[in-house]
Each structure stands twice: as structure tokens, then as C-alpha cells.
A and B are shown apart, each in its own frame.
Chain A
Amino acid sequence: MDIIIVLLSISLSIAAGFLVLFIWNIRSGQYDDTYTPSIRILFGDKKKESKAGKSDLTSKHQP
């Protein structure tokens, strides 16, 4: 039955590890803003834009 004690200590320490991680995340402000990152990811990295690409972007708004 000693194996249960071993398993128990493993499971508890893993769980405690996650708890500590979570608290650390909160303190460091990772959950302060849950909306902006979801938009930020859509921007992507900007490619080097050629002149043609740029006029293409703006042309559709022309009156």
C-alpha cells in the first residue's frame, strides 16, 4: 500500500506546482487583459510592402 503514498505525494506536488504557477501568472499580470491579445494575434507580422500592395490596400476606400 506504500505505493499509494508515493502516488499521492506525486499528484499533490504536481497540483501544488500548478497552483504556484497560476498564482505567479496572476501576480505578473498575465490575466489583466484578456481581450487585446486575441486581436493582436490577428495582425501578424507586417510584410515588406511594395508600392503596388499599398495602393491596392487603399484603393478600395476611394469614393
Chain B
Amino acid sequence: MPSIKIVTDLECYHCGQLCDEIVWLQDKPFCCNGCMTVFEILTDNELCEYYSLDAKPGITLRHVNEESYEYLDEPTVRKKIMEFDSPSFARVRFYLPAIHCISCIWLLENLQKIQKGVLKSEVNFAGKMVCIDFNPAHVTPGKLAHQLASLGYIPQINLGDERKQRSVAGKTLITKLAVAGFAFGNIMLLSFPEYLGIDDSDKSLRSVFSYLTIVLAVPVMIYCAQDYFMNAWKSFAQKQINIDVPITVGLLALFSRSIYDILYQSGPGYLDSLTGLVFFLLIGRWFQSKTYESLAFDRDYKSYFPLVVQKQVHREWVPIIIHDLQVGDQIKIRNLEIVPADSNLLSDWAYIDYSFVTGESKAEKVKLGEQVYAGGRLIGQPIELVVTKKTSQGHLTSLWNNPVFQKPEERGYRKTIDRAAKGFTWVVMVLAFVTAVVWYIYDPSRVWLVLTSVLMVACPCALALAAPFTYGTLLRIFGRNHLYLKNTDVIERMASVDAVVFDKTGTVTYAKEPNVQFGGVLNEEETSWVKTLTSYSTHPLSNLITRSIHLRPVNIVQAFKEHPGHGVEGIIAGHSIKLGSAAFIGFRQNVNAQATLVFVSIDEEMRGYFSVAIAIRKNLREMLLRLGERCFALVSGDTETDKVQMSNLFNPSVQLIFNQSPNDKLHYIRDLQQQGRKVMMLGDGLNDAGALKQSDVGIAVTDDTGVFTPACDGILQGEMMESLDKFLALAKSSTSILKAAFTISFMYNAVALTFAITGHLTPLVAAILMPISSISVVGFSTLAVNYVAAGKLKNR
């Protein structure tokens, strides 16, 4: 037998994780049977190129439980997931969060070699989606999903179609942009002869050019600019003035004046300026609308729950969609599945992990007949339950009946740009009126010309571009630093934040793996005995210890006994081994530790203890110090076990509140807001969903963007928590940059207005001023944001 040392260092050939229990195949080590099976499938189908494209590309199958996808073949479900379905050809699209490298693309696009009936499969890497064409006569969607899952790509089935709507909106914007750009370029070309001095001998040519420009400009007005008209009308109906109102006035003035000029042959019109204006505005809108394709910001509890559950009908288990669950239904839940509705336990006992609901990752023991709440995750043996409440009325899901979730997106927040637009509009109105009056006195024949000129140049194109480019640039910088925001409005709200509230588990601490350390003396053989013993138990602490030991358990346990609440014991290789609390082991000394301790004894001799401590994120303390006063509270669903550790971490002024239900968290945030605070909430789980939604800026913290995050304004990668204060500072400076950009654009407007008021505005002046002002504002805000960001984020 080779020495254990070498064995511990082996990485799985498939997934690259450290092997505990090694399975050998063709001289290659695998960490589990799942990984080996995938390797076998690939070898059988001559797809081993998978391993040469990227090193250890596989996805571990160690923690995956067999899930059935048969429900996808139910006619009602099938109809919802299929993109196209006919007897001989069908197309389905699966979202596979596990897609992460080139090998994934390669394997998934060679699916037809593994699965009969697949005609073609195509991966969208950015969207983490695979689109499969198949022949329904040979294979069903359920079978396909199962095949994908068995390769490690577990499909996430979502019956909603939010994604589709999003991409349609994006396409419409690009089409508008294309039309506007086309019209702008061609009108510019047709206007050149006029600017360069076409002479009167070419009168017919001149009018042909002019009429052509009208033909080109009409679709821009009707199609490309329609959003501005509609928004302006809407805000008018609400008796408010937003940025779209002066834009609309300017566009209308430009268009009608140009038509008048061309028809009465008093000038070439301003249609080049008009189309250019719309083109630039749309570019701004496109730049601002940057979205993260593979992230979703609007998930509710439904995304966490299974879509279907096994229900007993006439002594048989059939899959049923959870919306159709009725009170009194009998259902079966398997290991690691989530209980979909409040129900009573029919099995003798079960361990339920409520970390979704409470944030506390400790399994709770439930006995026969006791209530199990929706959202709990089963750990261990399959159980049977009888439903007592419908899913939508459950203990956890009632949170979503809170009015916060019904409110539309806009929270009555007035954007800076609209405040600026309001002031701007009034100034222009007054100016236009005064100019008209003055000109009426001096030269009544030119009143209308001058008035339209004033309205035309007052169109706040540069002003409207400043915000999209300032915030859009920052949005991208945040994205590069792993803070993914839903849209640019969030940055504005971020700038005004003066209270930051943290959740504990998963936010301040790491969500999954607590730090397990051993203090004491155990040789390797004994350590592997301990692992063997713990691997027999389903208790969470046992699982943690099992996972922390990278050794191969070789023996079997005799006389295994689990003493709930105390520990486990068993006989391995003739030695009696005990693991558990100090009292269980018979250890009498007082140990004062902040961590949970699990003591080990072999043959009644105490050998040491495993300390299981929550791991706090790196460099968090420094960040909290820099945040200073703004760091306001820690609101946790946990018990006070970690209070000491937390009070060491946070400043004394920070409130530490424990035992908070999801609803309590929501109300806490609301109370803060009623005190006039602008609150940023950082949380990770479903239990923070209400607080995230209620807060001014709700940021979901996650270590893996592939997993579900609750509805939020932004998603922050866990390791970037240490830069949170910098992100806030950056958001704040971006508002100053925006104000500077406003000033620049006002200056251009002032220059243009002097031309207009004095009656010297010609199409040429407009055609030069308009792009220059836009480009300089765009250039300024982009460069300034990049410069400031480079300074603020450089020391990482």
C-alpha cells in the first residue's frame, strides 16, 4: 500500500478537487464515482479532448444528488419549456450555471455523440445557456436534462420568460440606433453641398437634396424618437418635468422649423442636427443599458423552490407542480431538497436546515407530526410530509405578500438629471419669452424664427448624455471589480447612502465552509478512523469534519451509535472511538473558546478537539474601519453564539442584533428609513430578501454568481467586500463628475443661446455646435470617471 502522504495530494482528474476517497480508472484518480462516470462516458464516446482544452475542467459530482427530470415530460411543463415542438423536430433551451470554460462549450456542443436523438446543440457562453435541437421520437426533454445533469451540468429550470423580454427590448434599441445612424450619416452628406456653398444655378439639385433629407428624417422622428415623446407626455400628464420634456420641445422645434424652411425655400433646414441629436441620445441610452446577461436581479422565492414535487396519488408517486399543491396532499422530499410548503412530518424524524429562512446554518431536528416550514432543506433520509398550507401562503413566502414587493421599481426617487432638467426648462421658457417680446418690439417679422431658434438650441442633448456616460462608465468599472449593478439608477442611490446594514452568515462570514481545525495529537491512521466515523453520521458538524479531512477512510465501523445532541461513537479496527461534546467524551476541564468544539477520544483517552469556527471574510475589519460611521448595524437571523466574535469585528457604535426573522429585518430597514437614513443592505440569502428590497440599495453578496441570489439592486462577489467603502466613495465622486459635466453642457447651451437670441443661428452653426458639445461632455465624463476610479481602486 502506498503511503498516505502521496494519496492526500492527488487531485481528481475530472474536476481537480482534492480526492478523499480515490477511485482509480486507467491510472487516473477520481474523487468520486460521479466524476469517474463522466470520464467513462467521455472515453466511450471518444470525447476526451474535453480534458486537453482546459486543465481539470470538470464539475464535481460529489455533492450532487440524483434528481429526476421526468416532470419535464409532463405535457403542461413541456409546453412551457419548449421553444419549438413538433413530432419530428423540437428545440429546448436550458440554463446551465455550471458552464465556465472552453471545455464546457466543446463538450456541450458534442452532445449528439453522447445522446441519441440530439441533432445539434449550441452554447451561449455569456448567457450560460445551451440550445438543443433534437428529435422527440428518440429523446425527451426530461432525458436531455438528466443527461446534462449526469455530466455535471445541472439545468436550472425556470418557467418564467423574463430573459426573452429583456433581449427583445435590447434589439429594438439597436434597431432604432441603426436607423438613426443611417439617417444621420446620409443627411449629413446631403447637407455638405449647402455648407460648402452650392450656388444658385443648381436650384433644382438643391431642392432635391432638401426633400431627400425630409424623407430620411421622418422615420427618425416617428420611429427612433418615439420614446422621448411618450416619456415627455407621460411626465406631462403627471404634472412633472423630466429631461424628456425639453428634448421633445427641441426636437419638435427643429423638425417643424426645418420643414418650414425647406418648403418655403428659406433655408436648408436643421435636419442634420435633428438626426444627429437623436442618434447621440440613443447611443447614450444604449451605453447606459448595459446588462449582465447571466445574472438575474429579480428573483423571488419561486426560484429557490423546486418546480415539482413527488405527490402520492393512489399509492403511487407522481410529479406535481408546486403551485398545484393542495392542503392535505402527501408529498415526498429527498435529501437536500427544499420543502415547498408548510407541512407536517409523517416520518419519524428529520433534520431540516432552515438556513434559507433564518440565515442560520444549523440543522434542526423535527419529530413525527411536527410542523416543517417551507424553505427548509432536508438533510438525510427521504421523508414524507402532508401539506398544511399552500405554497403561496407559507410561513416564509408570506414575506412576499409584503407591500414592498408589490411596489413598482421607482421609489419616488427624483433623479439628479430630472431636477437639473426642471430648472433648465424654466430658464429656457423665460428666455424664450423675453426674447420673443424683445424681438416683437424691434422686428416683428422675425419673432417666430428667433423663437424656434431658441427652443432648438436649448435642447439639452449634452445634458442628457452626461448621466448615461458618467454612470454607464462607472457601471462597467464596478463590473470589472465584480460588483454587478442592476442599472445606472442604483449608482445614484449608492452615492447618497449613509447607513450600511450587514447580514451575518454568508455576508460578513463565509456562507459554506466554516474553519475546521484540530488541536491535539492524532496520527494519520487515527485521523482516518475519525473520518470513517463521522462519515457515517448526517449531523452537520460531522459532515464538516468529514470534509475537512482529506484522507481515505479504509475501515468499517462496528457498533456505530449516534447520540443526538451529544455525539457519535463506534468501534474501528478494535478501537473504541468517540466524538462529541466535552461531557460526552468525559472531559471535565473548562474550555473557553469562541468556536464550537468537537472532542475526540480513542479508547476512552481524550486526544484533542476539532474547533469549528465561522470564518470571517478577509480584510473586512480594515474596510469596516474605513466605513466608519456609515457602518450602522449587523442584523442576523442567527442566535447570539457569535456575538463575541462579531463585537470584536465591528466598532462599538454598531448595533448588533440577533434572532431576526426576515420580516424583522425588513421592518428594521424601514424604521431606519423613516429616521431619514438612506440605507444600503448587504445580505445573501432568501431571509434577507425583504430587507434587500426595502433598502435604498440592496446588494446581494455571493461567492459564486452562478447560484441564486435574491431580488436585489446589485450582486457583489464575496471577495470584493473589502472594497465596499471604495465603491461607495466612487459612487459619490461620480455625482460630482456628473455636476461638472452638467456645467460644461450648460456653457455650450449658453453659447448657442447667444447665437439664437441675437438671430444669428444658422444650420451650419447648429450642425457644428451640437456634436461638439455632445462629444466633449461624453469625453469628459468618461475620462474623469476612469481617472478617479483608477486612483481609488489602484491599491488592490
A-to-B contact residues, CB < 8 Å: 1, 4-5, 8, 12, 15-16, 19, 22-23, 26-27, 31-36, 39-40, 42-43, 46, 49, 54, 57-58, 61-63
Mind listing 29 A-B residue pairs with CB under 8 Å?
A5-B205, A5-B208, A12-B212, A15-B182, A16-B182, A19-B182, A23-B179, A27-B171, A32-B127, A32-B167, A33-B127, A35-B125, A36-B125, A39-B105, A40-B105, A40-B109, A49-B46, A54-B48, A57-B48, A57-B49, A57-B51, A57-B52, A58-B26, A58-B51, A58-B52, A61-B51, A61-B55, A62-B27, A63-B28
Contact A19-B179, Cβ < 8 Å, known A39-B125, A61-B28: yes
B292 to chain A, nearest CB (A): 13
Partner of A36, one of B49, B123, B179: B123
B124 and A33: CB pair below 8 A? yes
A15 touches B205 (CB 8 A): no
Report B-chain residues with C-beta under 8 Å of the C-beta of A36: 105, 122-126
Q: How far does the alpha carbon of A1 sit from the alpha carbon of B123 in the complex, in Å?
A: 55
Smallest beta-carbon distance B307→chain A, Å: 26
Interface flags, B91-135, vs A, CB<8A=1, else 0 = 000000000001001100100000000000011111100000000
A4-B205, A19-B179, A32-B124 are known; give 6 further A-B pairs, CB within 8 A. Answer: A12-B212, A15-B182, A31-B174, A36-B126, A58-B48, A61-B13
- 9 nearest CB pairs, A to B: A33-B124, A36-B125, A19-B182, A35-B125, A57-B52, A35-B126, A23-B175, A26-B171, A22-B178
- B184-237 with Cβ < 8 A to chain A: 185-186, 190, 202, 204-205, 208, 212
**Complex contacts, A27 vs chain B, CB 8 Å:** 171, 175
Residues on A with C-beta less than 8 A from B27 are 62
CA distance A62 to B178 in the complex (A): 53
What is the count of residue pairs linking A and B with beta-carbon distances less than 8 angstroms? 75
Chain A residue at minimum C-beta to C-beta distance from B47: A46
Chain B residue at minimum C-beta to C-beta distance from A60: B52
CB-defined contacts of A26 to chain B, threshold 8 Å: 171, 174-175, 178
Task: Mark out the residues of chain B between 136 and 166 whose CB falls within 8 Å of any chain A CB in the assembled complex.
Answer: none
Q: B29: CB under 8 A from chain A?
A: yes
Q: What is the bound-complex CA distance between A62 and B185, given in angstroms?
A: 60
CB of B404 within 8 Å of the partner chain: no
Question: What chain A residues lie within 8 Å of B106 (beta carbons)?
Answer: 43
User: In the bound complex, what is the Cα–Cα distance between A53 and B523 (angstroms)?
Assistant: 44
Minimum C-beta distance from A57 to chain B (A)? 5
B residues in contact with A16, CB < 8 Å: 182
CB of B576, distance to nearest CB on chain A (Å): 37
B102–A39 contact, CB under 8 A? yes
- Residues 474-517 of B contacting A (Cβ, < 8 Å): none
Alpha-carbon gap, A31 to B102, bound state (A): 20
Among candidates A19, A40, A49, residue contacting B178 with C-beta atoms closer than 8 Å = A19
Residues of chain B contacted by A33 (CB below 8 angstroms): 124-127
